[in-house]
Every structure is written in structure tokens, then in C-alpha cells.
Amino acid sequence: MRNAGLGGWPARRAQMTPSRPAFVFRDRTLSYAEIHERTTRLAGRLRRAGVTAGDRVAYLGPNHVAFAETMFATHKLGAVFVPLNSRLAAPEIAYMLADSGASVLIHAPECAESVRALTDIPSLTAVVSHDLYDEWLARGPDTPIDVPVTLDDVALILYTSGTTGRPKGAMLTHGNLVWNCYNLLVGVDLRSDEVTLVSAPLFHVAALNQTLLPTFLKGGCSVVMPSWDVERCYDLIEKHRVTWMFGVTTMFAAFAGSPRWQSADLSSLRSLMAGGAPVPPSLIRTYQDRGLVFCQGYGLTETAPGATFLEPAQSTRKAGSAGVPVFFADVRVVRPDLTDTAPGEPGEVLIQGPNVTPGYWNNPQATRAAIHEDGWFRSGDIATRDEDGYLYIVDRAKDMYISGGENVYPAEVEGALAEHPAVAEAAVVGVPDERWGEVGHAFVVPRPDTHVTGGELRDFLLDRLAKYKIPRYVDLVDDLPRTGSGKVRKWDLRTRARP
């Protein structure tokens, strides 16, 4: 087989384990043999639509087996897959389609209104809705396709959150994705009978490359949820005997906050994995007290995504740590002059390895700013390392604020607030202050059936944080604004904050 990339995976898996279930979606189960046939037919249809090696094929919609099928079919042709965030507005989607030069868009019915609003995208020659997807696919030829693809060829363009300016399209090669899978398989004892719950959005790299792709590589079964729903999550775990799941902090907090938490049968779960944002130690203890193995890692879209991982054996002793560098990557924590920090000293995280992006699509300036000549990627994240080399993520560099000449990292303050029994979630941003330069503004979501005031929360922090770290303002809110991956939109909170 000349396709050394992901496009060859369905054929290889179908040869090894044809009858084993590959995906469960709602009430439908698809075997590896069926996935191979369907992706071959879909690739044939894409080829008829003019897609050739290097062309871009976009997908817009919530989690669905069609996402994975479109990705594999695109890669069978040596083309580049562009997953789009279905929660974005039409102008944002239009920008990404135009910037990537996508020639085909496959979308879910839920996104039809956004698709109808798309205008002036010269590269786009074919648009296919899920309503016609199965019919479109079925008419494709089942002739085997074997296009030469190397591990150095670009597999994905993933648009990073545009916190400042336009979002950037991070390129990930087939090699980036494969090496990330290797790193994960070293850190997690993934089995061929794994039943993985895919509940986070697949248009983000963590759900795609930390759960679905490693499970497919091992020949396990991915149970795909269209979107995150706590009660549905409990149902699927019990029905399919789910063994492994990934989520972000907010998902795991909601899961543990359910009335079903104490009584549900979770005995099938072998491991839980969190990422995307720092996890409060109190939440980790909640899962450990339930007898569950709760691990976390750290990474970025640009690192495909795993950069560090905390293995299960260390999940109690090093609770709250993001772990050590993954097996096939190196991680440094450096000062502004790029010298390594001492243990406990905050610094920026740099990553180097075969999982690191070659750069940003059509954006050499952003690529030069992010990647050193020697291949080290600048994350923009702040972390410390302990004496054993374990990484502790402090915060995003841009989220840090300076109060009275002292650096304040919101994640530390949020973790302290999360210790209060009445706090479900908290987010902290820096706001201008005439005396101190900046002070903290906390937005707190109380737990149901509790009562707490901002003053009580500030008093609660007095024994836990230095005074300059305690937020000047505390607002109690019903919820927090979020990105498509579930992260808190700090930039939205800054617009709400007091002047």
C-alpha cells in the first residue's frame, strides 16, 4: 500500500478485524469492513467532484460517524481535511473556507442556515448535506484507491481560537497524528477491546486524536455522542460498558455534579482523561474518591495535541500535575531569555518533537513567531516544574495579569475558589485599577441549592491566597461563555468586567 497516512487505516483495519465494531452512533453500529467500504465509495465520489491530492475538503457539523468517514475518505485521496467548528457564525465559517481554499463542504442539517449564508468563496465547488450524504456515498465506486501519501504530507488544517485577530490554520501532518497516537499508546494501556466514549467535539484535536484515532488504530469501538449531555453520558456508559473517555474540566465537573453520580454503575470505566484547561485538584479528588483513575495531560492544537501526560500510576501522588513529556517529545520551561527555569519558577512552555506542527497555513509570519529555527514551538502557556520534572500548568501567558507588580495567574485563583463547597465553576480575569494597575474580577457559578455571596468567597480565599491574588470583584452568574471545545471565553468576560 502506497498510502502511509491515515487514508490507509480503514483498509488495514478491515483486513485485520473486519467484523469488529468500529463505531456506534445512536442505534447504528458500523464494522471496520463497512467503514472501509463506505470510505472507499465516499473517496470515489470526492474524486468525481474534482478532489485530488493536496486539495482541501471541509466538514461542518456536530459529532457524527460521517465526520470520521469524510476524514478517512479525504485522506485516501491524499487530500487535506478541514474540520470546522459548528458553533461558529457564518462569517467565521466563510473566512476559514476561503482561507483554506476548500473545494468541497460536507455539512450537517443543523448547519444549513449558516451554509446558506456563505457567499463569495470561489474555491468551493461542491456542498453536500447529511440529508443527501448516504445517497451520495452509495453511488460512489467501490474501486480500491491507493494514492501515494507520506507521513510528511499535511493531513489536517485546524483553525485555532481567534482570541486576537483572525484564527490561524494549524497544519498537522499524517506523521504528527501518528506520532501522537504512539505517544498516547505509551502512556495509556489502550486495549483492542476498548470502548471509547467520544463526547467532546471532534472538530477539536483532543477528541479526534486523543480518543477516536488511537481507538481506531487499536481496533476498539468508538461510541460517538452528537454533543455533550450528562444524562446521556451515564446512559451510554451503562449500555455499552464504556471503558475510556476524555473530557474537559467543565464536562467532568457536570458529570460529577449529577444526582446519578453516587448510584450509577461506572464499573466498566478503566480510565478517564482530562485536558484543555487546568483541572482543580478538588475535582480530581472527587473522581479518585469514587475509585476512578483520573489522568490529565497538556497539549495544544499545534502539538497534535499531546505534549505531557500524567500516567495512571502517578495520578494520586501527583494530582494536579499535567505530567511529564510524552515519550516521543521534549518539553522545556524557560525564562524570557530562553534559559531553563529552576524548579518551582514559572516560565513559558516550549515543545519539540515529531508531533509538532510544521506551521500555519498560508501564514509564514505566524509560523516564524511560533517556531524557533531549532524546531521548538512556543506555546504561550506558563508552567512550573517540580524537582521530579512534573509539569504544572499555571495559566496562559496572555491571561496572566500584574497587580501591584506581582504576577497573578487566574488558574490558581480559580482552583482556590473551586474548593468552596458552594462553587460549581469560576473564571477570573484581570481588570484595570488606578492604584494597583490591575486587579482580579471573578465570575462564579454557584452550585444548585446553595447560597453564597461575593464577600463570603473573598473571605474564604484569605487563608488560601496572598491578598494581591484575591479578586477585587466577584460576580455570581448562571453560566460562563464557552468556546466550541468547552473552554471559558475569557475575552468575553473581560468585556463584561467592571471598568
Q: Where are the domains of the chain?
A: 6-149, 177-396, 401-496
Count Cβ atoms below 10 Å from residue 131 Cβ, excluding itself: 12
Grouping H, G, I as helix, E, B as strand and the rest as coil, residue 7 is helix
Which pTM value belongs to this model? 0.84
Q: Mind giving me the DSSP string for 124-164?
A: --EEEEHHHHHHHHHTS--------B-TTSEEEEEEPP-SS
The reported pLDDT for the residue numbered 405 is 66
Any residues with CB less than 8 A from the CB of 354 and at least 6 apart, and which?
175, 176, 179, 328, 329
Grouping H, G, I as helix, E, B as strand and the rest as coil, residue 273 is strand
CA distance 231 to 470: 35
Nearest Cα neighbor of 156 from 62, 75, 213 is 75
* Beta pairing class for 28-31 and 294-299: unpaired
The reported pLDDT for the residue numbered 49 is 96
The reported pLDDT for the residue numbered 467 is 85
The reported pLDDT for the residue numbered 164 is 46
User: Domain spanning 177-396: which CATH class is it, in words?
Assistant: alpha beta
- Specify the DSSP class assigned to residue 481: -
The cell for 130 is 447529511
Nearest Cα neighbor of 56 from 70, 40, 68, 69 is 70
Nearest Cα neighbor of 391 from 432, 434, 348 is 348
CA distance 56 to 84: 12
Is there a common fold for 6-149 and 401-496? no
Nearest Cα neighbor of 380 from 370, 368, 391 is 370
401-496: CATH topology is GMP Synthetase; Chain A, domain 3 (3.30.300)
User: Domain spanning 6-149: which CATH class is it, in words?
Assistant: alpha beta
The reported pLDDT for the residue numbered 499 is 52
CA distance 282 to 249: 11
Per-residue pLDDT for the chain (499 aa), expressed as one digit of tens each?
999 999 999 999 999 999 999 999 999 999 999 999 999 999 999 999 999 999 999 999 999 999 999 999 999 999 999 999 888 878 889 999 999 999 999 999 999 999 999 988 999 999 999 999 999 999 999 999 999 999 999 999 999 864 445 789 999 999 999 999 999 999 999 999 999 999 999 998 999 999 999 999 999 999 999 999 999 999 999 999 999 999 987 789 889 999 999 999 999 999 899 887 667 778 888 998 999 988 889 999 999 999 999 987 887 788 889 999 999 999 999 999 999 999 999 999 999 999 999 999 999 999 999 999 889 999 988 899 999 999 998 877 678 787 876 778 788 899 889 999 999 999 999 888 777 878 899 999 999 999 999 999 999 998 888 788 999 999 999 999 987 667 788 878 887 866 5
CA distance 84 to 114: 12
CA distance 292 to 311: 13
